[in-house]
């Protein structure tokens, strides 16, 4: 029997991020206010959706605060050098992927109707 590594998700809910990081939702919400680099996407109901880059940043913050015991000013200084490159996690990229998937689903539906 072969064990497969679970695929990485593109979007995580607040509950999933809390479970993965071991942090409470109140800590994550406070970090959103304290550290402007952490910006989860919100839907119409204002539910938070964390992208992979947000998850990486949360693990980085958790390490700085809980392992290295840095204060808020120390964390801010370290965040200046943190690479927050927006590549495949950017909302525009995700929208383009979603539109491609929609087009493929439409093509499949047309083929099934024939």
Q: In CATH, what number is assigned to the domain containing residue 36?
A: 1.10.1660.10
So what's the pLDDT on residue 38? 92
Q: In this predicted model, what pLDDT tens digit does every residue of 56-110 receive, in sequence order?
A: 899 999 999 998 999 989 998 888 877 644 455 556 666 666 777 788 888 888 8
Q: Give, in degrees to the nearest 5, the angle at Cα 36 between 89 and 68.
A: 95
pLDDT at 4 over 80: no
Torsion of CA 58, 60, 66, 71, to 10 degrees: -100
* Residue at 25 is within a domain: yes
Q: Which domain holds residue 35?
A: 11-83
* Residue at 91 is within a domain: no
* Residue at 20 is within a domain: yes
* Residue at 67 is within a domain: yes
* Domains held by the chain: number: 1
pTM comes to: 0.65
* Residue at 23 is within a domain: yes
């Amino acid at each position: 029997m072969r064990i497969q590594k679970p695929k990485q998700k593109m979007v995580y809910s607040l509950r999933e991020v809390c479970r993965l990081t071991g942090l409470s939702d109140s800590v994550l919400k406070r970090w959103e206010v304290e550290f402007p680099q952490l910006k989860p996407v919100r839907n119409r109901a204002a539910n938070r959706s964390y992208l992979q880059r947000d998850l990486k940043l949360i693990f980085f913050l958790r390490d700085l605060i809980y392992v290295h015991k840095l204060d808020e000013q120390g964390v801010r200084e370290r965040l200046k050098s943190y690479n927050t490159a927006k590549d495949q996690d950017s909302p525009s990229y995700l929208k383009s992927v979603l539109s491609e998937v929609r087009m493929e689903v439409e093509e499949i539906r047309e083929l099934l109707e024939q």
